[in-house]
Amino acid sequence: MKFVNIDVDEQGHSFFKEIDLPQYGTAQRVSSKNQNVLYWKMGLAKPGHKVDFATVPDLMFMSVFSGQINFTVSNGDTRHFVRGDMLTLWDTRGQGHKIEVVGEEPCHFLMVALPDKGEFS
């Protein structure tokens, strides 16, 4: 399963890339192996909410349940995420990323802290 990832280079600049979480199973049902987690939390951000460049405290997995959110990395590239989208955030150091909740609906999301990159490649 492919995910958008925000990573950081040696100079501390954040960037988008695609990573993969291998899936196993049959044509009727696939899943990943169990992944270890540190903690998880739910969040709600209202339309117009913005955060300037900031890092994440731990390696994170994020799933968007409703609303729309934009992430912007160091070079100005912006990606738009909506209900059902998932991404990983590895920018625990450096410049970090910006977020902005857009549209008219609040953004409900799940954040899961990971102890390491696990099976992601």
pLDDT digits (tens, 9 = 90+) for 71-97: 999 999 999 999 999 999 999 999 999
Q: What is the Cα–Cα distance from 112 to 63, expressed in whole angstroms?
A: 9
Tokens linked to 73: 């990395």
Can you give the pLDDT at residue 1?
A: 85
Percentage helix, strand, coil, to 5, in the chain?
0, 55, 45
Mean pLDDT of each 10-residue bin along the chain, 121 residues long: 94 96 90 93 98 97 98 97 97 97 98 93 71
* CATH code, residues 2-20+37-114: 2.60.120.10
Can you give the pLDDT at residue 120?
A: 83
Can you give the pLDDT at residue 38?
A: 97
- DSSP helix/strand/coil, 97: strand
Domain ranges (residues) in the chain: 2-20+37-114
